[in-house]
Amino acid sequence: GQSLEQPSEVTAVEGAIVQINCTYQTSGFYGLSWYQQHDGGAPTFLSYNALDGLEETGRFSSFLSRSDSYGYLLLQELQMKDSASYFCAVSHSGSARQLTFGSGTQLTVLP
């Protein structure tokens, strides 16, 4: 099976940088994705990493180390609107056309 671990809660102040870590265990790993979900809303896609390294998209960056089965989401210049839950998800050969989601990290941005 697959398992993912990420912190349940993270708190940071506006303008700061925060890193949300995700470790996973899976066979036949394909890629690691990140999704954002505001309270009462739908998950929205942020990024996908299949290769080692850092991918940057505006204020958000995502990193993957396949050898360490580890990735993180980096949020810079935090804004109040970034308060949300962030989910990492793995795609893997056992079920390549579906994602297995972590339990989510609740990010609270304080003024």
Partner 1 sequence: DAGVIQSPRHEVTEMGQEVTLRCKPISGHDYLFWYRQTMMRGLELLIYFNNNVPIDDSGMPEDRFSAKMPNASFSTLKIQPSEPRDSAVYFCASSSSPRGQDGYTFGSGTRLTVV
**Other CB atoms within 10 A of residue 87 CB:** 23
Under the binding rule (CB under 8 A), the answer on residue 45 touching partner 1 is yes
Residue 36 is a binding residue for partner 1 (CB under 8 A): no
Residue 34, token pair as written in the block: 């990140």
Residue 33 engages partner 1 in binding (rule: CB under 8 A) = yes
Give Cβ neighbours of residue 25 (< 8 Å, ≥ 6 apart). Answer: 2, 3, 4, 69
Contact 105, 23 (CB under 8 A): no
CB of 7 to partner 1, least distance (A): 14
Ranges within 71-90 binding partner 1 (CB under 8 A): 87, 89
Tell which one of 19, 70, 101, 106 touches partner 1 (CB under 8 A).
Answer: 101
Under the criterion CB under 8 A, does residue 50 sit at the interface with partner 1? yes
